[in-house]
Amino acid sequence: MNCHICDKATVSFVHEKTDIIYYHCKDCEYIFKSPEYHQDFDSQRERYNLHTNDAEDEGYQAYFKRFLDFTLPLVGEVHNALDFGCGRSSLLATLLEKEGIVCDYYDPIYHPNTLNESKKYDLIVSTEVFEHLHQPREVFESLLGWLEKGGFLALQTQFHPNDVEAFKKWYYHQDPTHIVFFTAQTFKILCKEYGVVFVKDNGKNMLLIEKKKA
């Protein structure tokens, strides 16, 4: 099976404890779960409904503040933003607005009717979303299309260890709704393909991309 990201051939492996098949691209370091193990939309919704994220919880606020502490110093002055895949809460949008950035938010389950596909943004943020995507390259392309020239795309998703045996012991794939996994290298390949600039990553789970003006 070919890679969803770079179309190169992949190598399959089986997780012995679950019998789930995964495919690993050695070129762009992308790993994806075999499609027969994907959950349907209703099953995903049930899983997400178990999340008890409270916007008033200090730990939950700190979680997003770490993301903003990485992102905002790198993007300079931005006026508007989109939180893509925000989940049930609009906390991240609220925190951005406290920074003087008007922020829309969208989620296919909890806020499905809030997306204006003709609107452009200075900043798009997406936290813990990409690992759920059936078509990550297509979504990446769409997000770039909603960016103004000179705008930024900030993503958060856990980078996998890029070693099959270490991956099997990794906690992140144990969530059944997590079906695709990345490293910073995966996104560098995507950036090259779409002619945008990979600005920086934190070596763990955050990265920033810029859509150049020229």
Alpha carbon of 185 to those of 22, 64, 85, 207: distances in Å?
A: 18, 24, 23, 11
Please state, rounded to an integer, the average pLDDT across all residues of the chain: 93
| Cβ neighbour number for residue 165 with a 10 Å cutoff | 9
25, 5 Cβ separation under 8 angstroms: yes
Which pLDDT does position 59 carry in this prediction? 77
Give me the DSSP letters along the chain: -B-TTT--B-EEEEETTTTEEEEE-TTT--EEE-GGGPPPHHHHHHHHHT----TT-HHHHHHHHHHHHHHHHHH-S--EEEEET--S--HHHHHHHHTT-EEEEEBTTTBTT---TT--EEEEEEES-GGG-SSHHHHHHHHHHTEEEEEEEEEE-PBP-S-HHHHHH-SGGGSTT--EEB-HHHHHHHHHHHT-EEEEE-SSSEEEEE----
**pLDDT higher than threshold 80 for residue 96:** yes
Which pLDDT does position 89 carry in this prediction? 84
Which pLDDT does position 83 carry in this prediction? 98
Range from 88-92, 129-133, 148-152 carrying the lowest mean pLDDT: 88-92
**pLDDT higher than threshold 60 for residue 60:** yes
**pLDDT higher than threshold 90 for residue 137:** yes
The full set of domain ranges for the chain reads 11-210
Which pLDDT does position 40 carry in this prediction? 72
**pLDDT higher than threshold 60 for residue 213:** yes
Q: Percent of the chain scored above 90 by pLDDT?
A: 85
Which pLDDT does position 162 carry in this prediction? 97
CA–CA distance, 14 with 102 (Å, rounded to integer): 45
CATH superfamily of 11-210: Vaccinia Virus protein VP39 (3.40.50.150)
Confidence band, pLDDT 50/70/90 cuts, at residue 69? very high
Q: Is the pTM of this model over 0.95?
A: no
